[in-house]
Structure 1
């Protein structure tokens, strides 16, 4: 832990053998420095103590399967990937929606198909609206081509109509969304330039349109507002202060937290504890992942490399990946007053399959993510997948 005068909350999990466990608290601080420990508790994880949401984003799965991707359970038996994930403990599936993607995947029709599979496994459904034809994240929030020249009034209506259309179609086929993201990692807003966070009046109007559409389809569906940089408390406070002061309706706060990009588990803990208390909303880590190796399987350079391994604090091994994921779950479980809802692992099935790359306009692109999947290079389930069943 870094030196600090502030209190830092830590939650850890261990396996107890023979009914006995010794807990030691110590500091390796330099001579003359002190570490203070307070409010230490020790509890067993009996039945019913698992976290509410143990989710997976499987948005690339159908394209992987269509291009020949296969998946094996931990015993090496080839099975349906979603069935493997479900039997490992996942209870929620996340699907992104693009308006008119170049490759035809992640559009309304594909989302409907995958939603049926998710619900068929007895899982709940989170729908993630990007309001774009391709990736939307803190660095880019491009309008769909069909919306590019719309006036702001028409753009706001397009947000409502698109949101309502997809969700109503899901409801009509008996797969009503349980939770919906109005935007994806919208730290700097969405639908640039109209909805950038430099114009909060516009952004609030767009977010409200999306939220209203969600509730018009199903009043019980929860609305999530989702930012990246889960350890950045000042940014999250500023953003949600703006949203709440303008009356944007939402039910859940979502954050992305990749340990190698967004800071330590302790920084995530401090931020989401504060957000849960300040806004009275439950918290979901909507995206996280970690690498199990530094080796590559395709020609696309992997995002998770040796420098990110150093930043993340866990080794790039199968056990290191599992430990990193468990650390995120532990943080969410430790949010006071039961406001830590759960965690979604981002793209555990995005293995290296030719034709299933990151660029929907380029069939030859690789994905750069295969070393963060929860299936190894022999397509076998990794220990990290089992964390979903014990978190």
Structure 2
């Protein structure tokens, strides 16, 4: 047996940071589970000393973290203790994430509670402000929050000015009559100028404080490509400055993978200059998620293997789309094992019945190790004589067969008799 080297005739620049892909999850409640002494175990049942270090071992390189304005001020009947991430909380967890070597996505909710397509309540302290005053407030609040993050050693690498803002944001106070809410719809010009002006001012603060961060505009209408296209066309027409189209996709609410792929194709066609990230997704490892609209258990059973099969199918599809640069699993860290917490949520990447990481977590690494491309090698090729795997890991001169990067080229090492 001897090794031969075949130089692949592929143009490649190792300096293209924009080609890097990011995989991870929203872990906004990790400190709560740690404080509750949740028992985290790896795939084989061995105790996990540090979840963040374990996530790194699983091949993840980015984490997402949400921020509410002042969750203690929310007085709605649906008040949720899980919406607890104020600026002090976020600074501490954000620093841990950055210190562990991850990229950080900061998700501004611009509300005291959950902001999503069903509700975008204006923070209690902002309710009395006019639109003109809100434009200044969103700028000053964003600038102050980001300045605090930077000073805390938690500088975000990606920033979402708003969460699932398909129909606008800062609609009005909790309990405002539907007819008076300042929503934005396709086919209706009302409130779009207000909304885009809010975004322009928020993004201005982001660019001033974190000039290297990439801006993500987050929507969730993947089942309605026309609504998505209208949203981002409105952004373009208003000259809203952003870098990445961020999407939510939950198969049990949005539909089959073909629904997501149709949305991706529309975004790639209409907004070819933008990268795309799937900033929220999930699938059950057990029973059906409450409130599900679609059931794919015949294809992907509600089991550890079924969750793994869905995740692999999702990643295989995403890796066919070069514009897709990010994949984040929502509420990845949820784990009620050995706690008094409810175990109702069954779509994280830990099984609350055992505390063990699900098989799907190990599959997530395949998003950044797609053999069709190279990620994470940022040293100029003409200055770097090292060898790298396709996921960007530096290795010694390889003795095993496989595809590597060396001096700016892809190298196939293969065995030949």
Pairing partner for 2:334 from 342, 350, 353: 350
1:96-107 → structure 2 map (5 Å cutoff): 96-102=66-72, 105-107=84-86
Describe the SS at the equivalent of 2:296. Answer: helix
Aligned residue for 2:153? 174
Per-residue Cα deviation, 1:79-114 (whole angstroms, up to 9, x for no partner): 222222221111110000001113583111111111
State how far apart, in whole Å, the 2-side matches of 1:367 and 1:317 are.
Answer: 15
Q: Which runs of 5+ in 1 are unaligned?
A: 1-49, 296-301, 357-365
Per-residue Cα deviation, 1:101-145 (whole angstroms, up to 9, x for no partner): 135831111111111111122110000000011101000001111
1:65-84 → structure 2 map (5 Å cutoff): 65-79=34-48, 80-84=50-54
Pairing partner for 1:309 from 276, 282, 295: 295
Deviation at 1:158, TM superposition (A): 1.7
State how far apart, in whole Å, the 1-side matches of 2:103 and 2:229 are.
Answer: 29
* Match status 1:145 vs 2:115: no
1:259-270 → structure 2 map (5 Å cutoff): 259-270=251-262
State how far apart, in whole Å, the 2-side matches of 1:137 and 1:290 are.
Answer: 19
* 2:315/2:366 contact within 8 Å kept: no
Aligned residue for 1:372? 347
State how far apart, in whole Å, the 2-side matches of 1:368 and 1:158 are.
Answer: 38
Aligned residue for 1:282? 275
1:1-391 → structure 2 map (5 Å cutoff): 52-79=21-48, 80-102=50-72, 105-193=84-172, 195-197=182-184, 198-279=190-271, 280-294=273-287, 302-303=289-290, 308-310=294-296, 313-335=299-321, 338-352=322-336, 366=342, 368-369=344-345, 371-376=346-351, 377-391=353-367
State how far apart, in whole Å, the 1-side matches of 2:208 and 2:221 are.
Answer: 31
* 1:261/1:311 contact within 8 Å kept: no
Deviation at 1:367, TM superposition (A): 6.8
Deviation at 1:308, TM superposition (A): 4.0
* Alignment CA distance shift 1:76-1:222 (3 Å): same
For structure 1, which segment, 156-165 or 246-255, has the greater mean C-alpha deviation from structure 2 after superposition?
Answer: 156-165
State how far apart, in whole Å, the 1-side matches of 2:182 and 2:59 are.
Answer: 38
Provide TM-score, normalisation by structure 2.
0.73
Q: Which runs of 5+ in 2 are unaligned?
A: 1-18, 73-80, 173-180, 185-189, 368-417
Per-residue Cα deviation, 1:316-338 (whole angstroms, up to 9, x for no partner): 11111112122222232211xx2
State how far apart, in whole Å, the 2-side matches of 1:171 and 1:77 are.
Answer: 36
Aligned residue for 1:40? none
Deviation at 1:388, TM superposition (A): 1.9
* 2:200/2:241 contact within 8 Å kept: yes
Structure with higher RCO (Cα < 8 A, 6+ apart)? 2
State how far apart, in whole Å, the 2-side matches of 1:212 and 1:251 are.
Answer: 13
Per-residue Cα deviation, 1:146-193 (whole angstroms, up to 9, x for no partner): 111111122122211221112112212333110000111111111114
Deviation at 1:303, TM superposition (A): 2.3
Deviation at 1:311, TM superposition (A): 7.4
Describe the SS at the equivalent of 1:119. Answer: helix
* 2:336/2:355 contact within 8 Å kept: no
State how far apart, in whole Å, the 1-side matches of 2:283 and 2:215 are.
Answer: 27
State how far apart, in whole Å, the 2-side matches of 1:247 and 1:263 are.
Answer: 32
- The higher radius of gyration belongs to 2
Count matched residues.
Answer: 324
* 1:138/1:186 contact within 8 Å kept: yes
- Cα root mean square deviation, aligned: 2.2
State how far apart, in whole Å, the 2-side matches of 1:324 and 1:160 are.
Answer: 40
* 1:332/1:342 contact within 8 Å kept: no
Aligned residue for 2:395? none
* 1:309/1:315 contact within 8 Å kept: no
* 2:254/2:294 contact within 8 Å kept: no
